[in-house]
């Protein structure tokens, strides 16, 4: 089964209406170029507001269903594509999530995933905003396949990828917002970017599944002035089930691209490398501990 995947790697601005307009234009263009599945970057409607802890930023959150799911639902239906979105969900006053929502090609909501692993680092103050997800790791069924959708920091955890694979995910998808800290050396920045790509390609190999990671790109200032802001490193990519790179985008330019992958190839790869067959599920009890003393 051939699947055409559209990737939209963009730089965001403070103007949400402008961002949405550009997203709509990008979705239309990718659909016209034959994309069947379109993946957007993490928190794509706005700037990455987690650089500061500001209660006024909770005003950016919205219910699901809500304005954004309606907006992207209309796009999905108009162009007959499945869209993976990433939204700031207002579940209730004082209860918010970083939530990926998959929109089916008829405009309906196919399913959602609430980010499970929440970072808390300088310029990435996500624990201030997001309650850890409570929906678990469950793939979402769509007309283009069963999608193992997670979000950004989740991409560093092999356990999360494995759980998606064990439930029949046909690919792993990660909307992302990650970049360089301004005081890091050039060598350290490249080590981080390479590690980010490598760990996800490892998930592809270990599970025999394609991986799609879509990151934002460009510089965003720190509103507090305490840091030099974040230079998001782009580098969005699609890897095959042996970790092979089908495409990797620029680390500093916007890109809109369509990548073809063969979903059926995973079956053959898993026959060659039967990792699921050889797992010692009788010996993994300690994985449920925080640390084994």
Q: What is the pLDDT of residues 10-62, one digit of tens each?
A: 999 999 999 999 999 999 999 999 999 999 999 999 999 999 999 999 999 99
Quick check: is 42 catalytic?
Answer: yes
Q: In what order do the strands lie in the sheet with 211-215?
A: 140-142, 145-149, 171-176, 211-215, 237-239, 245-248
Q: Per DSSP, what are the bridge partners of residue 174?
A: 213
Global model pTM greater than 0.85: yes
Q: What is the pLDDT of residue 240?
A: 98
Return the sign of the alpha-carbon dihedral for residues 42, 46, 47, 53. negative
Q: What is the pLDDT of residue 210?
A: 98
Q: What is the pLDDT of residue 273?
A: 97
Given the residues 104, 112, 126, 152, select the one marked as catalytic: 152
Question: Based on the structure, what is the number of domains in the chain?
Answer: 1
Quick check: is 17 catalytic?
Answer: no
Q: Whole domain around residue 27: which residue ranges?
A: 2-288
Q: For the domain that residue 179 is a member of, what is the CATH number?
A: 3.60.110.10
Q: What is the pLDDT of residue 16?
A: 98
Q: Does residue 8 surpass a pLDDT of 90?
A: yes
Q: Does residue 258 surpass a pLDDT of 90?
A: yes
Mean pLDDT, rounded, for 234-260 = 98
What band does 84 get if pLDDT is binned at 50, 70 and 90? very high
Quick check: is 50 catalytic?
Answer: no
Q: Does residue 181 surpass a pLDDT of 90?
A: no
Given the residues 42, 104, 126, 231, select the one marked as catalytic: 42
State whether residue 30 is helix, strand or coil.
helix
Residues 6+ apart with CB under 8 A from 35: 4, 5, 6, 81, 258
| Residue 293 is assigned to a structural domain of this protein | no
Given the residues 50, 104, 112, 115, select the one marked as catalytic: 115
What band does 215 get if pLDDT is binned at 50, 70 and 90? very high
Residues 6+ apart with CB under 8 A from 40: 8, 23, 83, 84, 85, 86, 175, 214
Mean pLDDT, rounded, for 200-225 = 97
Q: What is the pLDDT of residue 1?
A: 79
CA angle 68, 71, 75 (to 5 degrees): 135
What band does 183 get if pLDDT is binned at 50, 70 and 90? confident
Mean pLDDT, rounded, for 118-143 = 97
**Average pLDDT of the chain, as a whole number:** 97
Q: Using alpha carbons, select from 122, 120, 147 the residue that is nearest to residue 131.
A: 120
């Amino acid at each position: 089964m051939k699947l055409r995947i559209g990737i939209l790697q963009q730089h965001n601005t403070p103007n949400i209406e402008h961002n949405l307009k550009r997203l709509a234009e990008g979705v239309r263009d990718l659909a016209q170029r034959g994309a069947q599945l379109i993946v957007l970057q993490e928190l794509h409607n706005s700037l990455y507001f987690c650089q500061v802890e500001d209660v006024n930023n909770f005003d950016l959150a919205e219910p699901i269903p809500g304005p954004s799911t309606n907006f992207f639902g209309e796009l999905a239906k108009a162009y007959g594509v499945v869209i993976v979105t990433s939204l700031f969900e207002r579940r209730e006053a004082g209860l918010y999530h970083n939530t990926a929502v998959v929109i089916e090609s008829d405009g309906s909501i196919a399913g959602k995933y609430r980010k499970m692993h929440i970072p808390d680092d300088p310029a990435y103050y996500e624990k201030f905003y997001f309650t850890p997800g409570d929906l678990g790791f469950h793939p979402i069924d769509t007309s283009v396949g069963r999608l193992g959708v997670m979000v950004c920091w989740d991409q560093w955890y092999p356990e999360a990828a494995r759980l998606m694979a064990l439930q029949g995910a046909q690919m792993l998808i990660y909307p992302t917002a990650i970049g360089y800290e301004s005081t890091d050396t050039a060598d350290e920045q490249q080590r981080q970017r390479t590690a980010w790509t490598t760990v996800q390609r490892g998930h592809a190999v270990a599970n025999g599944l394609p991986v799609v990671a879509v990151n934002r790109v460009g510089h965003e200032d720190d509103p507090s002035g305490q840091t030099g802001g974040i230079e998001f490193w782009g580098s969005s990519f699609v890897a095959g089930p042996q970790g092979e790179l089908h495409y990797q985008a620029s680390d500093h330019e916007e890109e809109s691209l369509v990548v073809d992958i063969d979903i059926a190839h995973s079956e053959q790869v898993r026959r060659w490398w039967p990792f699921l067959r050889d797992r010692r599920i009788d010996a993994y009890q300690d994985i449920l501990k925080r640390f084994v003393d």
